[in-house]
Amino acid sequence: MTPSLETKLPRVGTTIFSVMSQLALEHNAVNLGQGFPDFAPPARLTQALTRAMADGHNQYPPGIGLPALREQIAHKTERLYGRATDAATEVTVTSGATEAIFAAIAAVVRAGDEVLVLDPAYDCYEPAIDLQNATAVRVPLTLPDFAVDWQRVRDAITARTRLIIVNSPHNPTGAVFSAADLDALADALRDTSVWVLADEVYEHMVFDGAAHQSVARHAELAERSFIVSSFGKTYHCTGWKVGYCIAPPALTAEFRKVHQYLTFATFGPAQWAFADMLAAEPEHYLQLPAFYQHKRDAFRAMLAETPLTRLDVPGGYFQLVDYSAVRDVDDVTFCQWLVREAGVAAVPLSPFFETPPDTRLLRLCFAKNDATLTAGVERLAQLRA
């Protein structure tokens, strides 16, 4: 007798990113949808990767991460955010930020718990919560600026709340936290037993002279937080899938218990390469805000020649646009039409929401070569209001 199969993730299907990228391939469209750069990582990094493999660093690295890399992560964190970080007890290298997010949730969230998720949210959060038999409680961001209403956060906290997930710069909207937001988060949690998971993978993409307000800057929050970042985003190599998590020793100990049975260890040669890159070329991440601000500004200038309305982009590498002047249809339908008829792949905003508002917004990625951006905008410019 064949056993019956009951899915543990009934609401999960193929991600909208994969769907739109597949449509882009089928229709030979310019892919401005999925968030990956189409330009090369730094030459020093790829050379260091090749050298690490040639030097024989091809077996398991330490499960928690190469010591030299963890030391460089700790040094970078203190340099940027003023928080002294112990590489031995507070830094863990992971197989991408997605693994780190899952491991953090699995480490502290139990069946029956609640996790606060700011809405809209990146799509990997809720499945990880569901797999712990816990409940994601969505707290809507304000429209049209996608700011946090901290009173709504306070009102959503119950005796069952175990964790809050925050994301700055925010995917998909590009909203960023201010220092006042960190203070408000700390105030909301001060008399609670709620942990924080801070998704900071776009930490080096904050624009117009603003500083990234990492949870690491705020001593009170840092003591209750998992802070997750991504080398793939910072070094234009998303396919390498290397990230890390910084957390206080007690949280790190629980995090590592999950990590060791989730992936055990992360791609070894890449760890040697990132350790070399961080030590030898810190200017790369220091110059990244200006690099991406230039791309943002150039892309926005080109979009001015289209009938799409641009929203502000204070951080990240995505541009939200309002397409209501072109067609009055839902965003999924519009994005399918756009890739088939205009030859441009974008990502609709509604899949990021629990209950999508009645807006006409889509997300475009500007982490692309100039030629890719120009080709995409030339096609968008053919749209008619």
* Model pLDDT for residues 287-342, shown as the tens digit of each residue: 999 999 999 999 999 999 999 999 999 999 999 999 999 999 999 999 999 999 99
- Start and end residues for every CATH 3.40.640.10 domain found in the chain: 43-283
Question: Token pair 């005796």 is at which residue?
Answer: 159
Instruction: Work out the pLDDT band at 22, boundaries 50, 70, 90.
Output: confident
Q: CATH: 3.30.565.10, 1.10.3720.10, 3.40.50.11400, 3.90.1150.10. Which one for 16-40+284-380?
A: 3.90.1150.10
Q: Phi/psi at 319 (nearest 5 deg)? A: -110, 120
Question: Which residue blocks in 309-383 are alpha helix, DSSP H?
Answer: 331-337, 370-380
Question: Token pair 């919560």 is at which residue?
Answer: 129
Question: Which residue blocks in 281-355 are alpha helix, DSSP H?
Answer: 283-303, 331-337
Q: What is d(CA 293, CA 207) in angstroms, rounded to the nearest whole number? A: 6
Q: What is d(CA 145, CA 200) in angstroms, rounded to the nearest whole number? A: 19
Question: In terms of residues, how long is the chain?
Answer: 385
Residue 84 has pLDDT above 80, yes or no: yes
Q: What pLDDT does 108 receive?
A: 98
Paired residues of 21 in beta bridges: none
Pairing of strands 347-348, 361-365: antiparallel
Q: What pLDDT does 11 receive?
A: 86
Answer whether 0.85 is exceeded by the pTM.
Answer: yes
The half-sphere exposure of 235 on its side-chain side, counting CA atoms within 13 A, is 29
Residue 206 has pLDDT above 80, yes or no: yes
The string of pLDDT tens digits covering residues 115-169 is 999 999 999 999 999 999 999 999 999 999 999 999 999 999 999 999 999 999 9
- Start and end residues for every CATH 3.90.1150.10 domain found in the chain: 16-40+284-380
Q: What pLDDT does 385 receive?
A: 73
Q: Please, what is the angle between helix 283-303 and helix 370-380, to 10°?
A: 20
Average pLDDT of the chain, as a whole number: 96
Q: What is d(CA 74, CA 177) in angstroms, rounded to the nearest whole number? A: 22
Q: CATH: 3.40.640.10, 3.40.50.300, 3.40.50.2000, 3.40.50.1100. Which one for 43-283?
A: 3.40.640.10
Share of the chain above pLDDT 70, in %: 100
Residues 6+ apart with CB under 8 A from 267: 95, 240, 241, 242
**Do residues 365 and 43 lie in contact, with contact meaning Cβ atoms separated by under 8 Å?**
no
